Amino acid sequence: MKVLLWNCRGAASPHFRRHFFTLVNEYHPHLVILTETRVGGTRGKTLSENLGFSNVHISDPIGFAGGIWLLWNDLEIACEVLLTTEQEIHAWIKVPSNPSPWLLSAIYASPHYNHRCILWDNLMLLSATHSSPWLMLGDFNEILTSADKFGGRALQPHRARRFQECIDECGMIDLGFAGPRFTWTNLRSTGALIRERLDRCWCNNSWQLLYPETKVLHLPRVHSDHCPILLDTDPSSTLRPTRPFRFETIWFSDPSIFSVIKNSWHDNTLPFSTCVNLFVANVKLWNKLSFGNIFHRKKHISSRILGVQKSLETHPSPFLFNLEKTLVKDFNDILKLEEEFWALKSRINFVLDGDKNTKFFHQSTLTRRRRNKILAIRDSNNNWIFDEPSIKTSFISHYSSLFSTDTTSTTLTFPPPFPFPQIDDSHHPSLCLTPTALEIKAVLGSFKP
């Protein structure tokens, strides 16, 4: 699903229509949020119905300030509007590819601080009434840190703190972005230029678990003083790089892993690199055939426990009672393995014994993966590149040029101060051999206490 967010700074302009249709034709959003439309009532309804979407919901502006339009097509998503104010539209969204409905909040925060405080209070009240997956995006007209602003007056801490309290109370996570950092500019010259990151996309833990691969792109700013933002919950990836091998500590819970290790390193005459490759191949095969997938095992044991408990209700017996106890013990063991698995993935080493913080570690892993992803880069011509094949090509071209030169190296005309050792391919086997006991003894004997 794709969501297009844009503070269009007036939807009555003919330039707006031209740029809007360009965005829709290029990115094909399923749902569009337009803020600061400055048009409402009958005229706003007429204009919005001519934008090519089957459904429109409007939050009228106050005079010529504000305004939110929510546009979608019934054939692509199901949208049920719950609540509308001059600063927010809340709706239930259901996507055919995902059976779980979730809450969408389209925001246009007032430029006036006192009115924004009313919005923060409304959002905190809403967060206390539900625990559903929640996506919140829009123009918040507020910044959190000094890094979100360039030029102009300094950050006002009490305003940022008030905004941060609202976000924390709602349990929101910043979905990040790719592209230019600042989403708004005052379009002034260099001396009076001000830029800020006012448009954001937030979600809670439940929503991030539904769409862990979501990416947010800041698109080029051409018509408004705000750049459009594209949120894609299922970005298509043409590049599927091979995942590197990772040794999992949960494998030590199965004693048979030690025989795999022993068999991979039993031959002392083999080079070290050969033994490593042999171990990787053996442990992958062992993991597939013997250890198995702990998440599949968890589901299987859970189903067996449910079946045994149903049988105990009608035909209680000592066998079923003992079987239930065994399965519950196995289930708890797998929960510990799952906790250790996600703790290692999230790179958090301190875990309280007995805490089942699997959800926390899973969340940490997803957040770190999103932070480490390269969604866009800027090339040498100062142009942003978003598609993965072009990003890969740009990286290869840059580093190939960086580590190569067209300059011919000059020959030394003076003898070196000491002879350089010459190593060729014939020395490779001897360099890869495992040190013998005699060599180790000779090295240890060279150290004086």
Q: Is residue 215 located within the same domain as residue 288?
A: no
Q: Residue range 417-433: average pLDDT?
A: 70
User: How many separate domains does the chain show?
Assistant: 2
Tell me if 285 is assigned to some domain. Answer: yes
CB distance 121 to 127 below 8 Å: no
Exposed (0-12), middle (13-18) or buried (19+): which is 168, by Cβ within 10 Å?
Answer: exposed
Secondary structure letter of residue 62 according to DSSP: B
180 with 265, same domain: the answer is no
Tell me whether residue 32 is in a domain: yes
C-beta neighbour count of 264 within 10 angstroms: 20
pLDDT tens digit sequence for 79-121: 999 999 999 999 999 998 887 899 999 999 999 999 999 999 9
- Is residue 433 situated within a structural domain? no
Lowest mean pLDDT of 11-25, 67-81, 102-116, 266-280, name the range: 266-280
Three-state SS at 387: coil
For the chain, give me the number of helices (H) and strands (E)? Answer: 13, 17
- Tens of pLDDT, residue by residue over 385-417, are 877 778 888 888 888 877 775 545 455 455 555
Interhelix angle for 157-170 vs 113-127, to 10°? 20
pLDDT confidence bin for 346, thresholds 50/70/90: low
What is the pairing mode between strands 134-139 and 149-150? unpaired
Task: Tell me what pLDDT residue 421 has.
Answer: 64
Give the C-alpha separation, 139 to 88, whole Å. Answer: 10
Buried b or exposed e, range 21-30, using 16+ CB within 10 angstroms: eebbeeeebb
CA distance 392 to 398: 10
Confidence (pLDDT) at 335: 81
Q: What is the pTM of this model?
A: 0.61
Work out the average pLDDT over 118-142: 95
Asked if 59 and 196 sit in the same domain, the reply is yes
Question: Which two tokens mark 46?
Answer: 């007429």
Last residue of a domain, one of 232, 259, 286: 232
Split at pLDDT 50, 70, 90, the class of 353 is: very low
Q: Is the pLDDT of residue 163 over 70?
A: yes
Q: Return d(Cα 68, Cα 7) in angstroms, integer.
A: 9
Q: pLDDT for 43-65, tens place per residue?
A: 999 999 899 999 999 999 987 78
Q: What is the pLDDT of residue 431?
A: 76
Domain extent, residue 259, equals 249-372
